[in-house]
Amino acid sequence: MLFTFNRSKKHLLKRLHQISPMSKKLLPLALLFYSLVSFAQTQDGWVFKNEKEGVKVYYRKTSDVYELKLITSLKVPLSGLVLLLSEVDNYPKWGYKVAESKELKKVSDMETYYYSKLDFPWPLDDRDIIVQSKMEQDPNTRRVTATSISQPDYLPGNKGVVRMRNAHTTWTLVPGPGGWTYVEYYIYSDPGGSLPDWLVNMALDVGPRETIKNIRNFVQQDKYQSAKLAHVKN
C-alpha cells in the first residue's frame, strides 16, 4: 500500500502542469487529505466499514473489543477545534449519548482530568468514565494530538453505574488551507459486560458518526470560527 501511495502521489505531481490555475490552488488541500486517508488504509487489520456525509469509518477487532477510526474534514480553524475539546462541560451538547461531563482537575491548558457519564438504553446500566486528557502540538507541522486515557480509580464508583476501566481515544487535528481542519478520531473502549449485537453495531457506526455530525454543526458558532489560543499555533 505504501508503494502504491508513493507512486500515485508522484503521478499527481507529474500531472500538475496539466491542471488549471484554480485547481493548482486546491492541490495542497487534496494532497493533505489524500495522505491522511492513505495512512489509515495502510494500518494492519483496519477494515473499511463505510463512508457517509464525508466521514470515512474503519474498524479493527482486538480480542473482544472493537477499535474504531473516523476520518473527515471540518470547516473550522485548528484553534476552534482545540477550544471545543477543551470545554468539557459542553460535551453533552455534541457527544452522542453523553449525559453528563465535568472537569475534575485542570493541570494546564493542555492537560485535564474529567468525568463523563454515558446514557445506555434500558435495561442496561449506564456507564461512566474518568479520563486524563493531554494535548500536544508539533511545532513544525502544527498537528495537534489530543489523547485521552481512562483513569478508573481516580474517584470511587457510583451505584448503579458501570465504570469503564479500559478506554483510549485520540483526536489528530491537521490544519489545512482555507480554514479547514482534517480530523482523525480513534476510539478504543471496553464498556464492560455483555452487550447485544445491535448495541455494538451502534457503537461502530451511529454513535461516532452522530458525534462528528454534531461537532460539524456546533463549531459553526463564531466563538469557534474566530478562536485564537495562545498555546496553539494555527
pLDDT of amino acid 110: 96
> How many angstroms from the chain centroid is the CA of residue 185?
2
Q: What is the DSSP letter of 64?
A: T
Q: What is the DSSP letter of 82?
A: H
pLDDT of amino acid 60: 87
Q: Which residues of the chain have pLDDT under 50?
A: 1-17, 19-20, 22-28, 30-43
The superfamily (CATH) of domain 46-225 is START domain (3.30.530.20)
DSSP β-ladder status, 161-163 and 126-137 = parallel
Q: Give the mean pLDDT of the chain.
A: 82
**Which amino acid belongs to residue 149?**
I
How far is Cα 162 from Cα 145, in angstroms, rounded to an integer?
A: 28
With a pLDDT cut of 90, the percent of the chain lying above it is 62
Cell (9 digits) for 55: 466521514
Strands (E), the chain: 47-52, 55-62, 65-74, 98-108, 111-118, 126-137, 144-150, 161-163, 166-175, 181-190
